[in-house]
Amino acid sequence: MNTLSRLLQDNKSWSKKMMENEPDFFSKLLNVQHPEFLWIGCSDSRVPPDVITQTRPGEIFIHRNIANMVVHTDLNMLSVLQYAVEVLKVKHIIVCGHYGCGGVKAAMTNNSMGLINKWLRNIKDVYRYHQDEIEILKENDLKLNRLIELNVVEQVMNLAKTSIIQKSWIHEKGPHLHGWVYDLHDGIIRPQVHMPSAFIKTEFFI
Ligand code: CO
């Protein structure tokens, strides 16, 4: 059997198993979702949010892109954010990066990768803001890991400055923002930053 048909076959087995174990599993989720979390993560196939956090369907609202970026002109991300905050009223937003991120690694080189250069440009800016702290490190792996951690912190800052979060912090006293990094070596998530409600007040909303 080829791998594509395996996906459909495994899906059927999963559906059957869920129906047997929890007969109301699908009907409970049919018309409503109440996720407490919005996850903004990397598209990397080795970092599946629900698997590494052991969460079930209905528990996390998810947006993924290369290197878990929060870019203020990204209508896709902003639409997900607005829906998660204003309609679903999530309590926590997690930006989760991961060590060994290929997107961040590519941004540390000067190799041209076509269209993706424009996306990586945003990570290069993070590097520039923290250049002194990164370049003091001796090994390339340490530099990459530090940039991955700093990138997560910067993306949480970018979230905090959006009009969606600023308005919600004023009117709803939430959500909390978190920056995490997942370690591919041991599967452990290492928290980097926690920003509670109204941590940053911006003078103008982006
Ligand atoms: Co990645």
- Per-residue pLDDT of the chain (206 residues), as tens digits, is 678 999 999 999 999 999 999 999 999 999 889 999 999 999 999 999 999 999 999 999 999 999 999 999 999 999 999 999 999 999 999 999 999 999 999 999 888 778 888 899 999 999 999 999 999 999 999 999 999 999 999 999 999 999 999 999 999 989 999 999 999 999 999 999 999 987 777 666 65
Given this model, what pLDDT does residue 1 score?
60
- Helices 163-171 and 75-82 pack at an angle, to 10 degrees, of 10
Within 8 A by CB and 6+ apart from 71, the residues are: 77, 119, 122, 158
Global pTM exceeds 0.75? yes
Active-site residue list: 42, 44, 46, 98, 101
C-alpha 148 – ligand 1 centre gap (Å): 9
Q: How far is the CA of 64 from the centre of ligand 1 (A)?
A: 10
> What pLDDT shows up at residue 59?
97
> What torsion, rounded to 10 degrees, do the Cα atoms 33, 35, 38, 42 define?
-80
Taking the CA atoms of residue 74, residue 125, residue 95 and residue 177 in that order, the dihedral angle to the nearest 10 degrees is -90
Determine the distance separating the centroid of ligand 1 and the alpha carbon of 171, expressed in angstroms: 34
Distance 46 CA to ligand 1 centre (A): 9
Protein fold of 35-195: Beta-carbonic Anhydrase; Chain A (3.40.1050)
- Residue type at 121 in one-letter notation: R
Q: Where are the domains of the chain?
A: 1-32, 35-195
